[in-house]
Amino acid sequence: MNLHKAYFIGAGPGAADHLTLLGARALQECATVFAPVPYETTFASLLVGKEILVPFLFSFEDLLATLHDRLATTPVAFLIPGDLTFYSPFQAFIDLLGSQAVVIPGVGTVNVASSRLKKTLDLPGVCNRTILTSPRTLGNAPDSPTLAQLAAPGVTLIIYMNNLPLPQLVDELKSGYGGDVPITLCHRLDLPGETIITATLDSLVEQVGDRDFFNFTGPGNRPALTLLIVGETLTATVDGSWWNFRHETLWRHSAGQE
Ligand X SMILES: C[S@@+](CC[C@H](N)C(=O)[O-])C[C@H]1O[C@@H](n2cnc3c(N)ncnc32)[C@H](O)[C@@H]1O
Binding site for ligand X (CB under 6 A): 13-14, 81-83, 85-88, 108-109, 160-161, 186, 188-191, 223-227
Q: Whole-angstrom distance between the N-terminal and C-terminal Cα of the chain?
A: 47
Least distance from ligand X to the Cβ atom of residue 69, Å? 26
Residue closer to ligand X by CB (options 26, 225) is 225
Strand 226-230 versus strand 182-187 pairing type: antiparallel
Least distance from ligand X to the Cβ atom of residue 50, Å? 22
Cis peptide bond prior to 38, omega within 30° of 0: yes
Residue 230: partners with Cβ closer than 8 Å, 6 or more residues away: 151, 156, 157, 159, 173, 177, 181, 182, 183, 184, 201
Residue 252: partners with Cβ closer than 8 Å, 6 or more residues away: none
Residue closer to ligand X by CB (options 125, 192) is 192
Residue closer to ligand X by CB (options 14, 71) is 14
Least distance from ligand X to the Cβ atom of residue 85, Å? 6
Which of 204, 227, 206, 226 has its CA nearest to residue 215? 226
Least distance from ligand X to the Cβ atom of residue 114, Å? 12
Residue closer to ligand X by CB (options 23, 108) is 108
Least distance from ligand X to the Cβ atom of residue 187, Å? 6
Residue closer to ligand X by CB (options 127, 225) is 225
Cα–Cα distance measured from residue 26 to residue 9, given in angstroms and rounded to the nearest whole number: 8
Q: Which residue is nearest to ligand X (CB)?
A: 82
Cα–Cα distance measured from residue 146 to residue 232, given in angstroms and rounded to the nearest whole number: 20
